[in-house]
Structure 1
Amino acid sequence: MTEARPVKRQARGRQRIADILDAALVLFAETGYEGTSTNAIAARAGISPGSLYQFFPNKEAIAEALSTRLLEQMKAAQSSAFDLTRVTDLTLDELIDRMVDPLIAFNLANPGAKALMANTDMPARLGGAARPLQQAVVGRVAAIIEARSPQLPAAERNLTAMVTVRIVAAMMPPIGAAQGTERDALIAELKKALRGYVAPLEAR
């Protein structure tokens, strides 16, 4: 019995942390980072503010923990999409599908991630919380560009990767807000824009 109680407390603690992060993700999607308070997160998680502070000292700590969790989920979702051993065998359209579709699925499943990834309304001091998410995607895209277009200088390759990710990020809100055929049309336009941007680089 004495061993079971700590285990149960640890399990409850992990579940409480997960509930807090889930609540924060939903609220960041609904009201943005600045518009979300720790009291609102606690209420959405079904706990008291005092219970929240047992796990996180402030909203910044919640954002950092949420960024870490989202980064791990993104890595898992994109493990096959960013497989460098195969990208050179794909057509450009196939490559765009493999890169964009997991990003869209990830953002649709985690709408609050935009407040962290795009850093839309977060204060400058929180750049560190969002930076791992941003750098992970840009770095992977740059690696793919290098594999397919090794002649590009590193500076141009990295700039292209950054712009590519920004194009995708800019289209995520309207894609997330749309439904059915409208969403399909927006995704098709996004892929068309990426094809037009990247194709000249591969033709060099």
Structure 2
Amino acid sequence: MTERPRRRQARGQQRMVEILDAAARVFARSGYETATTNAIAAEAGVSPGSLYQFFANKEAIAHALADRFVTAMRTAHEEAFAGVDAAALPLPELLDRVIDPIVAFNLANPGFKALFARPDMPEGLAAAARPIQESLFGRVMGIVADRAPALPPEERVRTARVLIQVFQAMIPLITAAPEPERGPLTVELKHVLGRYLDPLTRLPGDDTP
């Protein structure tokens, strides 16, 4: 008697995942502002009525998708930063370790920028993203401090902000590129960051050109 409700619940959970996957693609393709629930339903292969059984409106979809993105981004940050000895690694290796997982996250989550790069991002979405953004800033600050302990605190803050802004500026270029170009563009991103960091944080063994 309990098997049917469980199957229905599993089908419902799968349908929600499909709708969120479709929403991520629609947001990435059309932008959040112009995306519609009808477009999301069509992308997911369901009727608008079926979509509304799970989500009341586009904002509800965005919030659910934001929660999923935040969880995935937290995992990507852990992969990028956990166990990294920033003071000991040569700069090129450090950049590989930190940048690759976060680039991979952005490639795997095409709707992320459409939600979190908006100038009019609703407070609810901003609140969901804020802890991750603060954590990222803190981790980048930690790397700068480990590699350049002589830098005054205000310069560390400035350096961390510049690094994050440059990274965020190049991510759309990488994600929009054809797949064969993504690797070379990621290498270019590392070169840009490396050339900026190298004079500030050079350690023995660093070979960034």
Query: Could you say whether these structures have the same fold, taking a TM-score greater than 0.5 normalized by the shorter chain as the test?
Result: yes
Q: Could you give the per-residue CA deviations for residues 4-54 of structure 1, whole angstroms, max 9, x where no partner exists? A: 233223212211221111011101111111121122112211222233223
2:32 is paired with a residue of what secondary structure? coil
Deviation at 1:167, TM superposition (A): 0.8
The question of 1:168 aligning with 2:175 is answered: no
Report the more deviating stretch, 10-19 or 175-184: 175-184
Amino acid at match of 1:59: K
Equivalent pair of 1:118/1:169 in contact (CA under 8 Å)? no
The equivalences for 1:27-106 within 5 A come to 27-84=26-83, 86-106=85-105
Report the more deviating stretch, 71-80 or 33-42: 71-80
Amino acid at match of 1:141: V
Report the more deviating stretch, 149-158 or 28-37: 149-158
Q: Could you give the per-residue CA deviations for residues 147-195 of structure 1, whole angstroms, max 9, x where no partner exists? A: 3334445544343323212211211222223336643432222112101
Q: Who is 1:25 aligned against?
A: 24
Amino acid at match of 1:45: A
Equivalent pair of 2:145/2:151 in contact (CA under 8 Å)? yes
Q: Which runs of 5+ in 2 are unaligned?
A: 204-209
Deviation at 1:85, TM superposition (A): 5.0
1:172 is paired with a residue of what secondary structure? helix
1:41 is paired with a residue of what secondary structure? helix
Residues 133 and 48 of structure 1: CA distance in aligned 2, closer, same or farther (over 3 Å)? farther
TM-score, with structure 2 as normaliser: 0.82
Residues 198 and 78 of structure 1: CA distance in aligned 2, closer, same or farther (over 3 Å)? same
TM-score, with structure 1 as normaliser: 0.83
State how far apart, in whole Å, the 2-side matches of 1:19 and 1:169 are: 28
Report the more deviating stretch, 32-41 or 63-72: 63-72
Amino acid at match of 2:200: L
Residues 30 and 128 of structure 1: CA distance in aligned 2, closer, same or farther (over 3 Å)? same
Equivalenced residues, count: 202
Residues 191 and 38 of structure 1: CA distance in aligned 2, closer, same or farther (over 3 Å)? same
Equivalent pair of 2:70/2:128 in contact (CA under 8 Å)? no
Q: Which runs of 5+ in 1 are unaligned?
A: none
The equivalences for 1:103-182 within 5 A come to 103-119=102-118, 122-125=120-123, 126-179=125-178, 182=181
State percent identity of aligned pairs: 52
Equivalent pair of 2:19/2:40 in contact (CA under 8 Å)? yes
Amino acid at match of 2:193: L
Q: Could you give the per-residue CA deviations for residues 45-102 of structure 1, whole angstroms, max 9, x where no partner exists? A: 1222233223222222222221221222223234232025522221111111111111
Q: Who is 2:206 aligned against?
A: none
State how far apart, in whole Å, the 1-side matches of 2:135 and 2:60 are: 20
State how far apart, in whole Å, the 1-side matches of 2:161 and 2:108 are: 23
Amino acid at match of 1:48: S
State how far apart, in whole Å, the 2-side matches of 1:18 and 1:64 are: 13
State how far apart, in whole Å, the 2-side matches of 1:58 and 1:20 are: 12
Equivalent pair of 1:87/1:148 in contact (CA under 8 Å)? yes
Residues 31 and 6 of structure 1: CA distance in aligned 2, closer, same or farther (over 3 Å)? same
